[in-house]
Amino acid sequence: QRVFIDANNQLYMNDFVRSLVLNHRRKDADRLLTSLYSKFYEQLNKSDTDKQVEVLIIFDDTKLKEFSKDSLQLRCARPNFKTSDDALVDLVASLKNQDSILIATRDRELGKRLTDLNANVCKSGHFFDFVVQFLNEGEKPKDMKSFLEDFLD
């Protein structure tokens, strides 16, 4: 199973993350999301090492260094693709078992392109909320800003 995250969409799903972007702290916003989804990957895969879920975090462009660790990857679409949308469509088209792929995006056109390839699409906001609650033991944090600030450390 695979989860692909259209990370540019995630930059505007939460007031705190959006404020980082609007206050010219885009690298911090990218780092926060990468840290949040890396923790999600670790928690998701810690119990069953035989059935690892692959997690791909992809930005159009980022100042963070790309990495690949086990089944967790951070990628930048550029310079090979103009946008992460094109990179995601190309990647999904190249894989087998597209129906085992979940892509988190709020882009309707991208969602259509991906569902045409038999991939599953989840709205970015729903996915973000799910991950936050998953990492907070099934509860919505009382103070979302404080919860997210921990991922900047």
Give the distance from CA 77 to its chain's centroid: 13
Average pLDDT over residues 103-109: 95
Mean pLDDT of the chain: 93
pLDDT in the model for residue 49: 64
pLDDT tens column, 110-119: 999 999 999 9
Helices (H) and strands (E) in the chain, counts: 7, 6
d(CA 9, CA 82): 15
Q: Is 6 a residue whose pLDDT tops 90?
A: yes
For 95, half-sphere exposure in the C-beta direction (CA atoms, 13 angstrom radius) is 21
